Amino acid sequence: MPKTPAECTTMADVRAEIDRLDRALMALFAERWGYIDRAAEIKRPLNLKADIPARVAEVRENARRHAVAFGLEPDFYEELWAQLIDHAIAHERTLLGEDQE
């Protein structure tokens, strides 16, 4: 049963909960990655590019807004999301054959 931070009484408790959350985050990233693959499949027949600047800006702003809503530092999380976006765009470019142009 997961413990809240306040319920953790030892470093072992804290580490176990962090490890549990890290695994859950990886599962969410894997799920997100499935949507990246699907986006490339949908973009191909529509002749859309991997990099759509308006969407990139929207996702970065969403990251900032969500960070603020959860009491987190928005600059850090926007930059983290920028790295996710860059990696996703590079992957989509490969899938769409844009890196061969």
The rounded distance, in Å, linking the Cα atoms of 25 and 2 is 15
66 burial (CB, 10 Å; 0-12 / 13-18 / 19+) is: middle
Q: What pLDDT is recorded for position 101?
A: 57
Asked if residue 97 has pLDDT above 80, the reply is yes
Asked if residue 3 has pLDDT above 80, the reply is yes
Q: What pLDDT is recorded for position 71?
A: 98
pLDDT digit string (tens) for 21-80? 999 999 999 999 999 999 999 999 999 999 999 999 999 999 999 999 999 999 999 999
Residue 64 is labelled as binding a ligand: no
Residue 49 is labelled as binding a ligand: no
How many domains, the chain? Answer: 1
Residue 15 is labelled as binding a ligand: yes
Residue 32 is labelled as binding a ligand: yes
The rounded distance, in Å, linking the Cα atoms of 59 and 85 is 8
CATH assignment at residue 90 = 1.20.59.10
DSSP for 38-84, written as a single string: HHHHHHHHHT--S--HHHHHHHHHHHHHHHHHTT--HHHHHHHHHHH
pTM as predicted: 0.87
Domain holding 44, by residue range, is 5-100
